A and B are shown apart, each in its own frame.
Chain A
Amino acid sequence: MSQVEPWVVLSFCSIIFFIGFTGLLIRRNILVVLMCIELMLNAVNLTFVTYAKLLQNLGGQVAVFFIITVAAAETAVGLGLVVAMFRTLRSVDTDQIQLLRE
């Protein structure tokens, strides 16, 4: 099995991260926006793991477990907020969330 160069993985991670950010910018559906955030966090996870492997250091791998946990909690809260918003707004479209401005 051939070795993947670390810089390839790391570049891949950063691309994924910015894809996630871009998705956050352009997708209208809030659920998809939540997924984009998840994507960003996973890019970070991958980065941690890569570096852990690269540096022969366990810390990065442990950090990933914490991040996964936190991300789960974050999604739970986010979905709760989406449900609450859907009750009053009857929509999950980001364009509708513009009552508060200026």
Chain B
Amino acid sequence: MEALKTIRPELLTLAPDQLRALSPYLFVFAGTLLAILFSAARVVKSRWPAFLIFIVSSIIGTVAALVLLREPPTLLFNGMMSSDAYANSFCVIFLVSAIVTAASSLKYLDNEELQQPEYYVLILFSALGMMLMASALDLIVMFIAFELMSLAVYMLVGFRRNDRRSNEAAMKYFILGSAASAVLLYGVALLYGATGSTSIRGIFAYLQAASGQGVTPVFAIGAWFAVLGFLFKIAVVPFHMWMPDVYEGAPVPVTGFMTTGLKAAAFAAFLRVFIATGYGSGVSAVIQNHIHDILWVSAVLTMVIGNVIALTQTNLKRMLAYSSIAHSGYILVGMIAGPLSEQGYAPVFMYLTAYAVMNLGAFVILTSLAARNDGGLNLHDFSGLSRRHPWLAFSLAIFMFSLAGIPPTAGFSAKYVLFYSAIQANEIPLVVISVLCSLISVYYYLRVLVYMYMRDTPDEVPVRRRVSVWSAAAIAAMVILTLQIGVLPARIVAAAKKAVTSL
């Protein structure tokens, strides 16, 4: 009650540098509001206003985040939010994946006769949620951001309202996702009870103060539940089962957005909570060793199950869903190794970036090729693609190489850095399993190439679709980035280091 008696003016006003630090969020939020206005008023019966507002606001937001990367971190709203290099780097990832998703959706929505401005509004909302997730320093703020993102994505998954599979996917995702966020919230409540604070710094300060006598059961359970919500979103075994169904049922561009933006956001918040609850700082041996063991087992299961089931899939979208589970496993390896290696969590950031780039690229191509109702994405539909769409086939080949981790692509350098840090952390068995798993993955990624380049076009020739300029530009940008990260990884490694050191 003390807080209410003394009104502190600095809580109610924003200093100019704080306003500056908030600018990416403000730009995106302004874009969201404008887009809602346009779509609600239906002044112009066209897709352009919402789309253009989307593109402009998110590009400005990206630029603002990039500019802020050079500036010192700023605490906002009484320490509930931090605009640091970590948050801003992630903002760039989220906004770029949002832009790419929207760019590839424009034509897709026309084909599906779903062209509604709300689509862009929802993507912007979820991007805003992601950004807040990465910058939140308070678990309640993080939860609200988490829900902002999730609610928008539930609706996006069910956006093909007349398709039963889309509805079903949305429903499954919604029910399981809500349950997961309830668990997360329960964890926050327990943490609050154990430490008297919901802020990340407060929790960590409690831990440091109590480092002598170990943690209470309430704290341990609370900490674990608080990260479970994120483990659910990144689909770590055994919390992964929703993912293939949802990815298959969601509209293709939304699936691409989920595998990249949403996963990166969940990892961004996960990492903050993870560190705050004492992993790696040695304040609690129990947390350290037991969480390590649990994550170790889940990482192995995640990699094995993701890769092995992906092997048997014939639908490309579903295959990429399982492979997305497998990639979460690799990233988890980086999370486990993070505190024990020289590079810290930098490889995790680098892998997320690389994965976002290559997977977005692959999904833009799938979006461009998808037939009505997301059909035409079975492996045999890709037969002879190199002759029908030489450029698309070539780009998809690059993304597949990258996902499989073959040099000189982003996937290779990211895997290299990640496994190298795991070796430094002395997690040799984990690295051996990861490498074996990525060997398995080579099979199903390169099978796509076999179909594209070595099979003849099937008799019932699919309609040759024109690829929109927006999609082509997005694909080209992703190809360039994939190769750039693959050939010249130094810059992205430096960016990753900078991002994680600001944690």
Q: B144 — which chain A residues lie within 8 A by C-beta? A: 66, 70
Asked if B467 lies at the interface with its beta carbon under 8 angstroms from chain A, I say no
Q: A67 — which chain B residues lie within 8 A by C-beta? A: 143, 185
User: Is A59's CB under 8 angstroms from B197's CB?
Assistant: yes
Q: A58 — which chain B residues lie within 8 A by C-beta? A: 1, 3-4
User: Is B172's CB under 8 angstroms from A88's CB?
Assistant: no
Question: Which of B164, B183, B249 has the most CB atoms of chain A within a 10 A radius of its CB?
Answer: B164
User: Is A44's CB under 8 angstroms from B186's CB?
Assistant: yes
**Nearest CB on A from B200, distance (A):** 13
Known A66-B140, A89-B164; further 13 A-B contacts with Cβ < 8 A = A40-B179, A40-B183, A41-B185, A47-B186, A47-B189, A60-B198, A74-B147, A77-B154, A78-B174, A81-B155, A84-B167, A88-B164, A100-B248
Cβ-closest chain A residue relative to B199: A59
Asked if A15 lies at the interface with its beta carbon under 8 angstroms from chain B, I say no
Per-residue CB contact flags for chain A residues 63-77 toward chain B (1 = under 8 Å, else 0) read 100110010011001
Asked if B151 lies at the interface with its beta carbon under 8 angstroms from chain A, I say yes
Asked if A1 lies at the interface with its beta carbon under 8 angstroms from chain B, I say no
**Nearest CB on B from A46, distance (A):** 9
Using a CB–CB cutoff of 8 Å, the interface residues on chain B facing chain A are 1, 3-4, 140, 143-144, 147, 151, 154-155, 158, 161-165, 167-172, 174-175, 178-179, 182-183, 185-186, 188-190, 192-193, 196-198, 244-245, 248-249
Asked if A54 lies at the interface with its beta carbon under 8 angstroms from chain B, I say yes
Q: Which of A77, A78, A99 contacts B164 (CB 8 A)?
A: A99
User: Is A88's CB under 8 angstroms from B147's CB?
Assistant: no
User: Is A81's CB under 8 angstroms from B158's CB?
Assistant: yes
Say whether, besides A59-B197, A63-B140, A89-B167, A84 and B190 are in contact (CB < 8 Å): no
A-B contact pairs, 29 of them (CB 8 A): A10-B193, A40-B183, A43-B186, A44-B185, A47-B186, A47-B190, A48-B189, A50-B193, A58-B1, A58-B3, A58-B4, A60-B192, A66-B143, A66-B144, A70-B144, A74-B151, A74-B178, A77-B174, A78-B174, A78-B175, A78-B178, A81-B155, A81-B174, A84-B161, A85-B168, A87-B161, A89-B164, A89-B167, A101-B245
Asked if A57 lies at the interface with its beta carbon under 8 angstroms from chain B, I say yes
4 tightest CB-CB pairs across the interface, nearest first? Answer: A51-B193, A40-B182, A100-B245, A47-B189
Question: Which of A21, A74, A80 has the most CB atoms of chain B within a 10 A radius of its CB?
Answer: A74
- What separation, in Å, do the CA atoms of A57 and B249 have in the docked complex? 45
- What separation, in Å, do the CA atoms of A101 and B198 have in the docked complex? 39
Q: A84 — which chain B residues lie within 8 A by C-beta? A: 158, 161, 167, 170
